[in-house]
Amino acid sequence: MKHIHILILALLLSVSVVAQEKQNNFEIAKSLDIYNSLLRELNLNYVDEINPGELNETAIKAMLDGLDPYTVFIPESDIENAKFMTTGEYGGIGALIQYDGEWTRISEPYYGWPAQKAGLIAGDVILEVNGVDCKKKNTQEVSDLLKGQPNTEVTIKVKRYGEEKPLTKTLKREKVKIDNIPYYKVFDNGVAYLSLSGFTRDAAKEMREKFMEMKNNHQLKGFILDLRGNGGGLMNEAVDIVNMFIPKGKTVVSMKGKAANANSMHPTMKDPVDLNIPVAVLVDGGSASASEIVAGALQDYDRAVIIGQRTFGKGLVQNILPLSYNTQMKVTVAHYYIPSGRCIQEIDYSHKKDTTQTKNDTLGKAFQTMGGRTVYEGHGIMPDVKVKRDEYATVTAYLYGKNYIFDYANKFYHEHKSIDSADRFQIDEATYQDFMNFVKEKDFSYTTESEKAIEKLKKTAKDEGYLDKIQPQIDLLEKNFAAEKENDLINNRKDIEELLRSEIVGRYYYQKGRIVASLKDDPDLARAFEILLNTNGKDEYHSILSGK
């Protein structure tokens, strides 16, 4: 009788699913008919001429905006950009660019690619591309002009800091491949370090090769994988990277979605390269998706100590599906679950209209690692060892956000032919004084949160009739705040120097140099050294992984 009840229940569920599918198909057909008739009538009757293609893209965007931010329509013109996300390759000059509100500037040329080889430098203002005036053209518009088929030429006119006349450069585009691994090394203490910036094609193969190179040439005491700022990429690359440190045949991630082909398990398929070396993984709020698979899986298998700040929390899987007329759609097809069974997705987009979900450190449902440690679902990967990072002061954020630091680096580069090596270069007293003078000459100003609060107090006091009585106290408060602001550049010198050093080093040593400079006083790295090398006199590494 029990088997009969189960059979009846299964049949009822099957009928319900079929009925729901029929209802959805009817609603789709009905909606398409309404949409077609609406667009046709608009074209015939609207008072002005319409652009059906633009209206269609607007309608599609509005429809997808109701879902998660990762489900997007890809028009034919953006196909190359979509390929770049998975392959790390594109036809172009090899440079990062940024828009400052009037012009687009080169923010960093990639070392070894056409822009750098042609002598373009960070700070160059792009005036024209192939004769097209670039004033008021945003980053995407200028990027589209710069990109093209490999081996084709592009002529760029730029304005350089300190140069009166524009410079014209003719470059030959190449098939640019962004490095998954911008930097790796073995420190003098015997700990290997590798920075992984992406999970594009061959990321795991490249990492395996670099790791084996370090292992074969040194007596390694530990390994640090830096995933900070790594927004993810191909899931299979993440699985293969985890496979380096755990045995063959272990599940790394599972996908669960509505469509049958969206449900799958992804185990390790190869022999590992090292099951014993102590491993630390550095993460932060910019570590997402494939980065979280790697960090989460190694945490669930108690194979690595995770150090830093809580990760982004993206537990959604996307596929790119072909559509008509050479367009595509990147669509979320599943959630992914790491070995303990937890999903690390931060926001439930199916209820986003009914909630004000924000990122916080509250704990979700508890799960267990393979060794019995408690881990939690739903809020990214919580590190085993948190390293607190203080937020930048208002003055520092303004200096960076308004490009004062970027612009000073242009000035410094123009005035200095060379600098010390990336790991040794420091901002000395003369340089910092010169920077402060540069800022003052630019009439730098900013509004602190305290000043905003005082203005709000004045308005409220005026509305309530108290302003005249408390005006002397407010005047004194404003005077004291003004005096403190005068010292902001001095009081926050350490953080400002850190940003200045990174920007200046990048002018001479590019992305690799930035990483080298950033590691000099890196608290996450220092904490990883302590744990891997047991420099504090206790076996923290095994203690953390055993949950003791």
Helix (H, G, I), strand (E, B) or coil at 490: helix
- The band of 258, judged by pLDDT with boundaries at 50, 70 and 90, is confident
pLDDT in tens, 68-95: 888 988 887 777 676 666 666 788 999 9
- Residue 269 sits in a domain whose CATH number is 3.90.226.10
Residue 293's closest CA among 332, 321, 335? Answer: 335
Name the residue with higher pLDDT: 324 or 184.
184
Burial, 229: exposed, middle or buried (Cβ in 10 Å; 0-12, 13-18, 19+)? middle
The three-state DSSP-derived secondary structure of 129-147 is ECCEECCCCCHHHHHHHHC
Residues 455 and 307 placed together within one structural domain of the fold: no
Q: What is the pLDDT of residue 454?
A: 87
- For residue 311, the surrounding DSSP H or E stretch is none
CB 255 within 8 A of CB 238: no
Q: Of 195-199, 280-284, 476-480, 543-547, which gets the smallest average pLDDT?
A: 476-480
Strand partners, 343: 337
Q: Is 197 considered catalytic here?
A: no
Instruction: For residue 181, give the amino acid letter.
Output: I
- State how far the Cα of 440 lies from the Cα of 86, in Å rounded to an integer: 45
Mean pLDDT of 204-211: 98
Select from 143, 177, 211 the last residue of a domain: 177
Q: What is the pLDDT of residue 468?
A: 87
Tell me: do 407 and 541 sit in the same domain: yes
- How remote is the C-alpha of 489 from its chain's centroid? 29
> Any catalytic annotation for residue 100?
no
Contact of 505 with 161, CB cutoff 8 Å: no
State the pLDDT at residue 19: 58
**Catalytic position from the list 314, 485, 495, 518:** 314
pLDDT for 1: 53
Average pLDDT over residues 424-451: 91
Residue 185 predicted with pLDDT over 90: yes
Q: Look up the pTM and report it.
A: 0.85
Residues 454, 481 contacting (CB under 8 angstroms): yes
pLDDT of residue 470 exceeding 80 = yes
Question: Phi-psi region for residue 403, left (φ > 0), alpha (ψ -120 to 50) or beta?
Answer: left
pLDDT confidence band for 101 (50 / 70 / 90): confident
Q: Is residue 371 part of a domain?
A: yes
Is residue 243's pLDDT more than 90? yes
- The residue among 159, 142, 83, 154 whose CA lies nearest residue 115 is 154
Find the angle CA(507)-CA(509)-CA(514) to the nearest 5 degrees.
85
Pairing of strands 316-322, 222-226: unpaired
Q: Are residues 475 and 374 in the same domain?
A: no
Domain boundary (339, 356, 389) is at: 389
450 catalytic? Reply is no
| Model confidence pLDDT, tens digit, residues 316-338 | 888 888 888 888 988 989 998 99
DSSP string, 77-106: GGHHHHHHHHHSEEEE--EEEEE-SS-EEE
Task: Let me know if residue 53 belongs to a domain.
Answer: no
- 177, 159, 150, 57: which is closest to 102 by C-alpha? 159
Q: What is the pLDDT of residue 417?
A: 95
State the total domains in the chain.
3
- H-assigned helices in 250-363: 290-300
Q: Which residues contact 84 (CB under 8 A, 6 or more apart)?
A: 90
Here the CATH number for the domain that contains residue 123 is 2.30.42.10
Query: With 80 as the cut, is the pLDDT of residue 52 above it?
Result: yes
The set of residues, in sequence order, having a beta carbon less than 8 Å from that of 412 and lying 6+ positions away, is 431, 504, 507
Q: How many whole angstroms separate alpha carbon 481 and alpha carbon 475?
A: 10
* CA atoms within 13 A of residue 197's CA, in its CB half-sphere: 13
Q: What are phi and psi of 192, to 5 degrees?
A: -85, 145
Whether residue 383 is found in the same domain as residue 422: no
**How confident is the model over 230-238, as a mean pLDDT?**
94
Q: Residue 355 has what pLDDT?
A: 43
Residue 27 domain-assigned (yes or no): no
13 inside domain: no
Listed in sequence order, the residues at least 6 apart from 32 whose beta carbon sits closer than 8 Å to its beta carbon are none
Q: 406 with 383, same domain?
A: no
Element (H, E) at 302: none
Kindly state the DSSP code that residue 233 receives in the 8-state scheme.
Answer: B
193 and 152 fall within a common domain: no
Q: What is the mean pLDDT of residues 471-477?
A: 87
Q: Where is the domain boundary, 131, 147, 177?
A: 177
Same domain, 412 and 342: no
Measured between alpha carbons, how far is 300 from 253 in angstroms, rounded to an integer?
11
How buried is residue 15: exposed, middle or buried, by Cβ count under 10 Å (0-12/13-18/19+)?
A: exposed
Share of the chain above pLDDT 70, in %: 91
Residue pLDDT, tens place only, 335-381:
989 999 999 888 777 665 544 444 555 567 899 999 999 999 878 99
Same domain, 462 and 357: no
d(CA 94, CA 490): 37
Asked if residue 71 belongs to a domain, the reply is no
Report pLDDT for 136: 95
Which pLDDT score is estimated for 510?
A: 95
pLDDT at residue 191 greater than cutoff 60: yes
Could you read off the pLDDT of 483-536 as tens digits, one per residue? 777 789 999 999 999 999 999 999 999 999 999 999 998 999 999 999 999 887
CA 85 to chain centre: 12
Q: 84 in a domain, yes or no?
A: no
**Active site residue: 240, 284, 300, 488, which one?**
300
Residue 66 lies in a domain: no
What is the C-alpha separation between 77 and 81, in angstroms, rounded? 9
- Residue from 195, 197, 287, 289 carrying the catalytic annotation: 289
Q: What are phi and psi of 190, to 5 degrees?
A: 90, 5
Residue 9, number of CB atoms within 10 A of its CB: 10
**Of 14-23, 104-113, 301-310, 332-341, minimum mean pLDDT range:** 14-23
Q: Has residue 199 been placed in a domain?
A: yes
Per-residue pLDDT averaged across 17-27, rounded?
A: 65
- Is the pLDDT assigned to residue 99 strictly greater than 80? yes
Same domain, 336 and 424: no
Tracing tokens 């931010």 back to the chain, one arrives at: 69
Do 418 and 372 share a structural domain? no
Q: Are 134 and 145 in contact (CB under 8 A)?
A: yes
Nearest to 477 by CA among 461, 458, 491, 498: 458
In 3D space, the residue among 200, 263, 278 whose CA is nearest the CA of residue 237 turns out to be 200
Tokens 């077609």 map to which residue?
A: 36
Interval 399-427 mean pLDDT? 96
pLDDT band at 445; cut points 50, 70, 90:
confident
Question: What average pLDDT does the chain have?
Answer: 89
Give the integer Cα–Cα distance in Å for 95 and 154.
14
Cα separation, 384 vs 308, whole angstroms: 8
* Residue-range definition of the domain harbouring residue 125: 89-177
Which residue, among 337, 336, 335, has the nearest Cα to 367 in the 3D structure? 337
The string over 495-509, giving b where at least 16 C-beta atoms fall within 10 Å of a residue's C-beta and e elsewhere, is: bbbbbbbbbbbbbbb
- The CA–CA distances, whole Å, from 336 to 253, 263, 296, 382, 403 equal 6, 9, 11, 17, 39
> In 3-state terms, what secondary structure has residue 240?
helix
The residue that leads in pLDDT, 452 or 341, is 341
How many residues are given for the chain?
548
Same domain, 96 and 167: yes
Regarding whether 219 and 362 lie in a shared domain, the answer is: yes
Q: What are phi and psi of 170, to 5 degrees?
A: -110, 120
